[in-house]
Amino acid sequence: MTALSLPELLTTLRHTVGDTHVLTEGDLSAFEQDWRKRTRGKALAVVRPGNTAEVAAVVKACAQAGVSIVPQGGNTGLVVGSIPDDSGTQVLLSLQRMNAVRHIDAANLAITVEAGCVLQNLQQAAEQAGFLFPLSLGSEGSCTIGGNLGTNAGGTQVVRYGNTRELCLGLEVVSAQGEIWHGLSGLRKDNTGYDLRNLMIGSEGTLGIITAATMKLYPLPAAKLTAWAAVPSVAHAVELLGLAHLHLGAGLTGFEMMGQFALSLVDKHYPQLRVPLWQDTPYCVLLENSDTESEAHARERFEHVLELAFERGCVSDAVVAESLSQARNLWHIRDSITLAQAEEGLNIKHDISLPVSAIPEFVAQTDALLEKEIAGVRLVNFGHLGDGNLHYNVQAPEGSDNAEFLRTQEDRVNTLVYDTVKRFGGSISAEHGVGGLKVDTLPDYKDATALGLMRQIKQALDPQGILNPGRVVRLD
């Protein structure tokens, strides 16, 4: 097959998806700049296919031209994994037009949606049909299910429902050769070979382009209770988590821990949210109990957990939401930490996971180490304690130049944090992925054999290296 020149490629792409959906001029920052505004790339073209057949045709044309492709959903990622590099030679493949809810199978408790479907729209479609889709993220109003699958996103309900991987029953994927894998059956059991679905999930568009997915649905809960509790230490938060597991079982659907400084930033930048209890305690916990039986049954068990926690001294004060609007406000405070930190200035982000039992000692050791090494450093520690995932972020000392702090201290801080994570048996990426931000750090913390197998898989499925190159693993 004769290779396509770049002008021929652009002509082919316009013929495939329509002139108006191949963007080469004007303000393309929404596609070319990452969400944290730390990196800006330059695309050869932004291509917006409208269906799976068009995606396949675009991939085939790019393969023929030897041009690499960067798939993108809502562009809300935090690891620079869905924007082009600055060469001006990559095609940015936006899946935002492919946003339909294709089918709801009530008997199979399943919903099939296209990759560009915004997570909040999926949640609403499920609820309108009388079901729950439990994946919940701070960016759910703009992130897409394709991106969630590509990074195996976590969110606030992993403690009960698992990551996005656990919520997926099937995929439709375009391969690096432009072939379509039709895997949307929705089967819960299929033992006919390698698990291609789970291979694609979390691969960040480096092995194939997810175009649609069949996801699990659950019955809507009969009751949902939310509490905000002040705890004296991380160890006490872990003790409270143990009590919640023991007495709530599968009813425990959320368990978030937030440090005092993280909450002080929300109070500073969003005072209208009225953050409770934060001033007199080092940590607060937000916990949620969902029950399929009744409000009375749920409240009895929930209050029992809090009573035990007070008796044991692992909770010093607590607020229980008395209405849905109060519960939403508590969750809004939690979700506003990232935005408040951005208002405070550029910062060093960490998305780490550890065994829950190791978290108190990890926090104590790492806090002490950073405070010793960098006078006045401010630690923004919060996250999904229920599943061992912390967003252990580092803010510059007050009054410092944030950009200069990042430039001079980021590598050093990352090494200090990641070395401690490794010593405690954790992971340097829990739910955000690897992207381009951590691709060169990963070999220092990933098992060498595992990394070698990952490279072999990438080479086998994408021998031209055209799918999101330089993300997750490098082949050179």
**Model confidence, pTM:** 0.94
Closest CA to 217 of 294, 115, 113, 290: 113
| Gap between the Cα atoms of 39 and 181, Å rounded | 33
Q: Please identify, in words, the CATH class of the domain defined by 345-423.
A: alpha beta
Q: Please, are residues 261 and 341 in contact by the beta-carbon 8 Å criterion?
A: no
| Fold (CATH) for 101-219 | 3.30.465
Order across the sheet with 209-216: list the strands.
101-105, 110-114, 209-216, 168-174, 180-183
CA atoms within 13 A on the CB side of 40: 5
Q: How do strand 22-23 and strand 43-47 relate by DSSP bridges?
A: antiparallel
Q: Report domain extents, the chain.
A: 6-94, 101-219, 223-338, 345-423
Q: Please, are residues 82 and 130 in contact by the beta-carbon 8 Å criterion?
A: no
Cα–Cα separations (whole angstroms), residue 319 to 44, 128, 156? 53, 31, 19
CATH of 6-94, one of 2.60.40.1180, 2.60.40.10, 1.20.140.10, 3.30.43.10: 3.30.43.10
CATH number 3.30.70.2190 is the correct assignment for the domain at 223-338: yes
Q: Do domains 101-219 and 345-423 have the same CATH topology?
A: no
pLDDT one digit per residue (tens) for the chain, 476 residues: 678 999 999 999 999 999 999 999 999 999 999 988 889 999 999 999 999 999 999 999 999 999 999 999 999 999 999 999 999 999 999 999 999 999 999 999 999 999 999 999 999 999 999 999 999 998 999 999 999 999 999 999 999 999 999 999 999 999 999 999 999 999 999 999 999 999 999 999 999 999 999 999 999 998 899 999 999 999 999 999 999 999 999 999 999 999 999 999 999 999 999 999 999 999 999 999 998 777 787 888 899 999 999 999 999 999 999 988 999 999 999 999 999 999 999 899 999 999 999 999 999 999 999 999 999 999 999 999 999 999 999 999 999 999 999 999 999 999 999 999 999 999 999 999 999 999 999 999 999 999 999 999 999 999 999 999 999 999 87
Helix (H, G, I), strand (E, B) or coil at 201: coil
